[in-house]
């Protein structure tokens, strides 16, 4: 049996004015362009709309893939209650389950597979799959799997016992899922995150620096991610200040604000514009403490950047000595030393750049989509 229609249950889905979870859209669009009909259910919180000024989206809208395939996007409303618990359960889970189930029932052409992004959505998908007799697959890419903070072991087991397969973005995610007894290894495969190589690719550094009005001779460090403790934005900011003559680009937003004298840019960018700023840099640094598999690192690799990042297992599937320097992400001096080393060794910088480009070509979103479809078909 081959899959013809997949319903994705996801935490969120990007729109042009709100570029969240862009990696979800890239995968959905690529699968749609492989000839598979795609529907997406991405519930939106009423609480966030009213109290956190989140922009209310249409309950239903259509997205178009690169090849003009239509993707149906359902965004049902639900009430969220943050970390509030009633009888040791968060009422938000009940409302999300109801909202997703109602949206699924509204899909006219019924999907033949449910694909849940992250384990907590896997619980929801598992319940729907059991009711509707539809096979369920789960994609795990969480920086830390936290489904047991939301649901009881009994609920998790009941919902997940019959899932057909698990796509893990890293060996670390696979091992963590096994340790939490969410699924057995025989049902799992590792398919690292990937990016659109048509969007992220090398651009002549001199030309792009001229376009952005950056000095051609500067040594520039780039960072992409949330400005929070886990991603390490302030650790990098401090490390940069320890290395003389370094400029910085910080792409993202959050509660922390990097501040150093050599900063060239700080703030959010449309996803399509990030490629210019990455190509203007000499090295990409992400001193993160936890990931599933970092899309930001792969995007930087596709632009030909050497990588400085964590020596923890979540990077093992995408980084090696040929294109990266692995550091203790909590050690600011170690981060600074790695930056200094690449600044002082242009030849090593060049060989790592070439290695990044080669590895990034393997991590193309269309290749990943094909592998996922093959895995689903094999396990139906």
Do 5-194+365-379 and 205-362 have matching folds? yes
At 321 the three-state DSSP class reads coil
CATH number for the region 205-362 comes to: 3.40.50.2000
List the structure tokens of 185: 């290894």
Q: Which residues contact 54 (CB under 8 A, 6 or more apart)?
A: 44, 45, 48
Q: From CA 250, how far away is CA 375, in angstroms rounded?
A: 37
- What is the residue extent of each domain of the chain? 5-194+365-379, 205-362
CB-based contact 280:205 (threshold 8 Å): yes
pLDDT value of residue 86: 55
pLDDT value of residue 79: 86
- The pTM score is 0.89
pLDDT value of residue 89: 60
Look-up: residue for tokens 């242009």?
A: 346
pLDDT value of residue 130: 95
Question: How many angstroms separate the Cα of 365 from the Cα of each of 198, 266, 358, 360?
Answer: 10, 28, 15, 10
Q: From CA 327, how far away is CA 91, in angstroms rounded?
A: 41
**Each residue of 25-55: pLDDT tens digit?**
999 999 999 999 999 999 999 888 887 788 8
Q: Which parts of the chain have pLDDT scores under 70? A: 81-90
pLDDT value of residue 34: 96
pLDDT value of residue 88: 57
DSSP per residue, 213-257 = T--TT-EEEEEES-SSTTTTHHHHHHHHHTSTTEEEEEE--SS--
CATH number for the region 5-194+365-379 comes to: 3.40.50.2000
């Amino acid at each position: 049996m081959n899959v013809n229609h997949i319903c994705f249950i996801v935490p969120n889905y990007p729109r042009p004015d709100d570029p969240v979870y862009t990696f979800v859209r890239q995968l959905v669009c690529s699968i749609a362009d492989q000839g598979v009909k795609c529907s997406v259910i991405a519930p939106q919180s009423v609480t966030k709309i009213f109290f956190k000024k989140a922009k209310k989206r249409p309950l239903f809208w259509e997205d178009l893939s690169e090849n003009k395939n239509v993707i149906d996007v359902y965004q049902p409303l639900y009430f969220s209650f943050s970390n509030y618990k009633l009888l040791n359960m968060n009422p938000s889970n009940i409302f999300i389950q109801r909202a997703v189930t109602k949206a699924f029932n509204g899909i006219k052409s019924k999907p033949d597979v449910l694909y849940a992004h992250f384990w907590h959505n896997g619980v929801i998908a598992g319940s729907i799959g059991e009711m509707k007799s539809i096979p369920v697959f789960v994609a795990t890419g969480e920086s830390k799997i936290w489904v047991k903070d939301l649901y009881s072991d009994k609920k998790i087991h009941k919902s997940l016992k019959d899932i057909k397969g698990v796509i893990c973005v890293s060996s670390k995610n696979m091992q963590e899922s096994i340790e939490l007894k969410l699924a057995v290894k025989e049902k799992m495969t590792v398919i690292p995150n990937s990016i659109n190589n048509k969007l992220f690719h090398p651009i002549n550094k001199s030309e792009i620096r001229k376009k952005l009005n950056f000095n051609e001779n500067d040594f520039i460090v780039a960072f992409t991610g949330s400005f929070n403790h886990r991603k390490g934005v302030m650790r990098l900011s401090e490390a940069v200040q320890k290395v003389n003559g370094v400029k910085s680009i910080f792409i993202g937003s959050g509660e922390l604000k990097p501040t150093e004298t050599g900063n060239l840019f700080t703030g959010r960018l449309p996803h399509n514009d990030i490629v210019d700023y990455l190509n203007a840099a000499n090295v990409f640094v992400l001193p993160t403490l936890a990931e599933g598999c970092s899309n930001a690192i792969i995007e930087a690799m596709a632009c030909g950047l050497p990588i400085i990042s964590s020596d923890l297992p979540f990077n093992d599937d995408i980084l090696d000595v040929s294109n990266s320097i692995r550091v203790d992400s909590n050690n600011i001096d170690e981060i600074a030393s790695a930056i200094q080393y690449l600044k002082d060794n242009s030849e090593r910088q060049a060989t790592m750049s070439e290695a990044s480009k080669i590895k990034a070509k393997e991590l193309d979103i269309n290749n990943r989509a094909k592998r996922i479809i093959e895995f689903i078909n094999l396990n139906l």
